[in-house]
A and B are shown apart, each in its own frame.
Chain A
Amino acid sequence: MAYFKKFYGALMLVLLFCTSTIADDDLRANATFNITVLYPEARKPYSTFFDAIINGIKEQPQLNIQALTFDKSLDEEELLLSLQKTNPDAVILLGRENIPLQEKIATSFKTVHGALFLSGQDIKKGHSGVSMNPDPALLFAELKKIQPSIKEIHVVFDPTANGWLVQRAIESTAKNGLTIIPHKVSNLQQAALKYKEIVRNSNPTEDALWLLHHDPTLDNKSLLPRVLSDAWKYKQVVISSNPSHVRRGALLSILPDNQQIGKDLALTVIRLLNGGKANITPMQSTLVVANLRTAKHLSNTIHLTKKTNFALTYPKGVAND
């Protein structure tokens, strides 16, 4: 009986604890947070980019948003004072403008970064945010749709900049029959040799090459044209995190979906305010850009059935500008 009493008491305690936690969570889930979004002012069409992100953030009903623009003429002290006065629960910083100011804000407020490329160093610094890098899992899923026979994806990268993204890619592909073959390099020269080696040994139906955005070991002027022209020669499938590579001959990439970036920033803030760990995630988007010329070159292996579902295709007409 004594055991039963103890058991009963313990059970009651557990239940009480659970209820209180649930209630607390429930309370937090319904709480409204005051968030300030700081973004650089710009002209159209560039301004539409921030407008869309802010609209995405505003879709989250738990957040009460105040959006402020900042530019070079801004009085920093005034901004910091006004932030202290409004005392938001967190600040979302868009872009990489005025880093000293961003750092000052980060000392007094919880911050989340968006509309920029985040690197391994940012993770080390404990930053939170959504990087402009598309989620590699999305990129691979699109590749799988039009080229199901691909088994291995080679990536040449600088580990300090993009190690985190490659790691994420490795984790995401474990389940779906793809293997990431990472090639760590530290400079352009090493990268050039590595790319050459990969293309020469590549099997066009089973191997693909994944190019990264903002990797210090891939230079757009000298190395990229060589990588892409070699890929053409050997019929190597190239996908890229950088949509502009598609115009130059990569098969496909993912365009930013700014509204979605906003939504994800809002979730990141909520998670952070609910005690979650600092976290950097790549952007989510369904906007695929494809190079149809390259697709035709690879036409023995690529099945582009629903071409109209691409958000953008290249090549376009000859623009004389």
Chain B
Amino acid sequence: MKKLPSCFLLALFYVSTTPSFATEKAFEGLYDDVDFLYIATGRKQTVSQAPAVASIISAKTIRQIGAHDIDEVLETVPGLHVSYSAGGYNPIYQIRGISSNTNPQVLMLINGIPITNIFAGDRSQSWGGMPVENISRIEVIRGPGSALYGADAFAGTINIITKNATEIDGLEVGASAGSFDEYRGWLQYGGSVAGWNTAFSVQVLDTHGQHEKIDVDFQTVLDSNPFLGTNASLAPGSVNLGRQSLDTRIDLSNDKWQIRLGYQQREINAGAGLFEALDTVGEANSQRYNADLTYLNTDFSENWDFKAQYSFFNTFTKTNAMLLPPGTDTGAGVFPNGVIGQPDVYERHNRIDLSSFYTGLKNHDIRVGIGFHHQDQYKIEEKKNYTPFGVVLIPLPGVIDVSDSFPFNQEKTRKIYYGFIQDAWDFAPDWTLTAGLRYDHYSDFGGTLNPRLALVWQTSYRFTSKLLYGRSFRAPSFAEQFNINNPVAIGNPDLDPEVIDTYEVAFDYAATHDLKVGFNVFYYQMSDIIRFDPTTANNTGKQTGHGLEMEVNWKATDKLTVYGNYAYQSSKDKGTNSDAADSPQQQLYVRANYTLTPTWSVNSQFNHVMDRQRANGDTRSDIDDYSLVDLTIRAKEFSPGYEFAISARNLFNEDTREPSLAPGAIANDLPLAGRGFFIELRKSLH
């Protein structure tokens, strides 16, 4: 993708200058809740999901905090910390102390449909971020979700709901620019076209990315070996976080039907390198296509509603990585152009999901569903200039296509059939027991049964107590099952899924209408954790964890709102009997939003990340705590239809780092961005 000239982004504003004027005062007292507006124009809703420890972040909050990427939003959720892996700085959503480099233990859904890539079980090997302009809300469930969502709703589930036609103000255009040569632009439309509610969104990003320094890397370690005699490391040098992205979505709906189409494209640089050695030339690109067709009839027949959904997801990732820099030698010869690896993965997913909600039985709400999911890793290609022999890389005469000779993985498919039932039973006044059970049959490893139990007691007018239990599973990825020709990470087709049992006690207390408090404690046990141990994937790991999370939501005055949360966790790797490592044991987050005038508002947030320990055998001292402060000043309708914001991220230029892999090839961890300033301008055209 070509770099977007900033002048183009600014030109977006001059497409049209039809004046408009907001008189929201007209609504004071008419609509106390903006929900009412959406309902009045939208479809009737079906009743809730299973009770869980959940957070919802709305578009309003996302806008207020000045977030550009979903990771900035997720960081505000209690018990969730966003860390990064060296390769491409792909995010690691650490939930309640569950962390791993590829992070397949968190399920991400867009409009309820998983975007998991079957190759590594993550969102993408070249994720490249997700812009937030088209997000209506994000629902984050901490804890188990397999009884409803199936695989990978393990440590938590992140469901991103995109904006529909009523949530976009006619035609909206906007752009932002700021530090690290970052430019963003977006154009969105919401309206009615030929009787269909139509929402359209296109978002683009071009950034050089932050360029904090890595002082020593994996090549530095190799260089220090006197037998190799190399001096190849690019460290000290900066991380490479250049990115371009394009996100397009269309959402068409009428009374019972909904059609959604999406196309995303990413081009990302190597971050701190796939092999933890700085890579100045490597890049990965990915393209993703998705489509879904949904039929929802809330009056299907007396006491039944019915939903049918077909969805399609196709994604491929092409990587061109310089794994080690020019001049490197691992003991079997020098690589004058560096060690080059070019693995490409292509996959597609087809899903059918049928579900129904039955309300005909007194005091019972029953949800049943069945579905089918076909996963197809339909093409594996690879070029490289080395062949591995143990831990030593032997140079090949050039970059050779090994797709048909000794590729890194295999073309494979997997079929999944599933069925679920859930009953919410109001067995006494103020008491509800929700019991759910889902069975998934996998064509490779067989069946898995995942229950969910939730007992909810409406203790008083202001107080609700919940006791929750759930079992979840994480299906092995194709990398874990079918990796070949890789002496340090060999796949194992006989793997079982990872399993987690979670117990939670949660309380909600509404002290007043303007002050709400949430508190929960949890305990979990993970087993059959899949690790390449020592070189072949096996179900070897065990982990337990416990902790608590609390949040406070306070509307102090009509002008000032304050939100804060605190999370504590302690997780143990049972194999080594040491801390599960890398995740913060404590995290404190506070945000305040102050509306100075109808036009001007200020938002500031403070995030304190604490107590991150090293893995067993990693002799480095613990990772330093850090505190981040962000500030956003916003002017709405300073001129008809216009909105402007200026924001400072990491205002005090704190040195912030996320842990590198043990034992610490990148000894001083992965640096995050220093202080950055961004401006944003948007215009809505009716």
With an 8 Å Cβ cutoff, the count of chain B residues facing the other chain is 80
Select from chain B the residue with minimum beta-carbon distance to A116: B30
Report whether B41 and A311 are in contact in the complex, using a CB–CB cutoff of 8 Å. Answer: no
B58 / chain A contacts, CB cutoff of 8 Å:
319, 321
**Closest approach, in angstroms, between the C-beta of B65 and any C-beta of chain A?**
10
B residues touching A (Cβ–Cβ < 8 Å)? 20-27, 29-41, 44-48, 54-58, 60-61, 64, 76-77, 137, 139, 166-170, 190, 298-299, 302-303, 305, 357, 359-360, 362-363, 365, 426, 428-432, 458, 460-462, 464, 508, 512-513, 516, 518, 551, 553, 561, 563, 565, 637, 641, 684, 686
Report whether A320 and B359 are in contact in the complex, using a CB–CB cutoff of 8 Å. Answer: no
Report whether A310 and B363 are in contact in the complex, using a CB–CB cutoff of 8 Å. Answer: no
A312 / chain B contacts, CB cutoff of 8 Å:
35-36, 39, 45
With beta carbons under 8 angstroms apart, the residue of B33, B169, B512 that contacts A244 is B33
With an 8 Å Cβ cutoff, the count of chain A residues facing the other chain is 62
Select from chain A the residue with minimum beta-carbon distance to B190: A44
A residues touching B (Cβ–Cβ < 8 Å)? 40-49, 52, 71-73, 95-97, 115-117, 132, 214, 225, 228-229, 232-233, 242-244, 247-249, 255-258, 287, 289, 292-293, 296-300, 303, 305-313, 316-321
With beta carbons under 8 angstroms apart, the residue of B29, B44, B77, B464 that contacts A214 is B29
Report whether A43 and B36 are in contact in the complex, using a CB–CB cutoff of 8 Å. Answer: no
Report whether B41 and A258 are in contact in the complex, using a CB–CB cutoff of 8 Å. Answer: yes
Report whether B37 and A46 are in contact in the complex, using a CB–CB cutoff of 8 Å. Answer: yes
Report whether B36 and A318 are in contact in the complex, using a CB–CB cutoff of 8 Å. Answer: no
Report whether B34 and A45 are in contact in the complex, using a CB–CB cutoff of 8 Å. Answer: yes
Report whether A228 and B461 are in contact in the complex, using a CB–CB cutoff of 8 Å. Answer: yes
With beta carbons under 8 angstroms apart, the residue of A116, A287, A300, A308 that contacts B40 is A287
A117 / chain B contacts, CB cutoff of 8 Å:
29-30
B686 / chain A contacts, CB cutoff of 8 Å:
47
Given contacts A296-B432, A305-B359, A307-B47, contact A256 B56 (CB under 8 A): no
**Closest approach, in angstroms, between the C-beta of A44 and any C-beta of chain B?**
4
Report whether B359 and A307 are in contact in the complex, using a CB–CB cutoff of 8 Å. Answer: yes
Report whether B54 and A132 are in contact in the complex, using a CB–CB cutoff of 8 Å. Answer: no
Report whether A319 and B298 are in contact in the complex, using a CB–CB cutoff of 8 Å. Answer: no
Report whether A256 and B362 are in contact in the complex, using a CB–CB cutoff of 8 Å. Answer: no
CA distance in complex: A314, B58 (Å):
17
CA distance in complex: A292, B213 (Å):
55
Report whether B61 and A320 are in contact in the complex, using a CB–CB cutoff of 8 Å. Answer: yes
Report whether B27 and A49 are in contact in the complex, using a CB–CB cutoff of 8 Å. Answer: yes
CA distance in complex: A45, B27 (Å):
11
Report whether B563 and A42 are in contact in the complex, using a CB–CB cutoff of 8 Å. Answer: no
Select from chain A the residue with minimum beta-carbon distance to B551: A320
B56 / chain A contacts, CB cutoff of 8 Å:
316-320
With beta carbons under 8 angstroms apart, the residue of A244, A255, A318 that contacts B54 is A318
Report whether B359 and A73 are in contact in the complex, using a CB–CB cutoff of 8 Å. Answer: no
B518 / chain A contacts, CB cutoff of 8 Å:
318
Select from chain A the residue with minimum beta-carbon distance to B429: A299
Report whether A96 and B26 are in contact in the complex, using a CB–CB cutoff of 8 Å. Answer: yes
A41 / chain B contacts, CB cutoff of 8 Å:
20-23
Report whether B46 and A308 are in contact in the complex, using a CB–CB cutoff of 8 Å. Answer: yes
- 25 A-B pairs, CB-CB below 8 angstroms? A41-B23, A47-B686, A48-B166, A52-B41, A72-B21, A115-B26, A117-B29, A132-B30, A225-B512, A243-B36, A244-B33, A248-B513, A296-B430, A305-B362, A307-B47, A308-B298, A309-B299, A310-B44, A311-B39, A312-B45, A318-B54, A318-B516, A319-B56, A321-B64, A321-B561
